[in-house]
């Protein structure tokens, strides 16, 4: 029971940081989503040791390991778009796959090039 209370508390902190992120986005008219601002904010808070990892750890770990549960309702909305994926809609899947292949290949090549340069430099 104590553990459950702790987890709810941790998730409440995450929610609070999300709301602060939203507030920052609206106040400063930023394009970056409030949730992403909240994530950067939490990272800075942890990194600068402004808050202790133990204040959010258990809840966050549980949250992250079951992240996809929260994606289900949004994904189920596809029920209203099913006709898109019949016939010509298969093209959409092919577009996504080609683009995904390009991202994977090119980002991998670029970072590999920089890592090798760095490794050479250190030897």
Range 38-67, binding other proteins (CB under 8 A): 38-43, 46-47, 53, 56-57, 60-61, 63-64, 66-67
Radius of gyration of the chain (CA): 21
Number of H helices, E strands in the chain: 5, 0
Instruction: Give the torsion sign (CA, 36, 42, 48, 53).
Output: negative
**Do 41 and 19 contact (CB within 8 A), yes or no?**
no
Residue closer to other proteins (CB basis): 3 or 80: 80
Nearest distance in Å: CB 2, other proteins: 21
Q: What DSSP designation does 13 have? A: H
Judged by CB under 8 A, the residue of 8, 9, 26, 115 near other proteins is: 115
Binding mask 2-41 for other proteins (x = CB under 8 A): ---------x--xx-xx--xx--------xxxxxx-xxxx
Q: Does 111 bind other proteins (CB under 8 A)?
A: yes
């Amino acid at each position: 029971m104590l553990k459950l209370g702790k987890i709810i508390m941790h998730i409440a902190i995450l929610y609070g940081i999300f709301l602060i992120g939203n507030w920052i986005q609206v106040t400063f008219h930023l394009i970056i989503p409030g949730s992403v601002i909240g994530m950067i904010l939490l990272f800075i808070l942890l990194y600068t040791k402004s808050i202790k990892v133990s204040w959010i750890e258990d809840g966050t770990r549980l949250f992250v390991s079951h992240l996809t549960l929260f994606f289900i309702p949004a994904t189920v909305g596809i029920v209203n778009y099913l006709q898109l994926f019949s016939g010509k809609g298969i093209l959409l899947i092919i577009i996504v796959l080609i683009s995904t292949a390009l991202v994977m290949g090119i980002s991998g090549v670029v970072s590999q090039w920089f890592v090798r340069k760095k490794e050479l430099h250190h030897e």
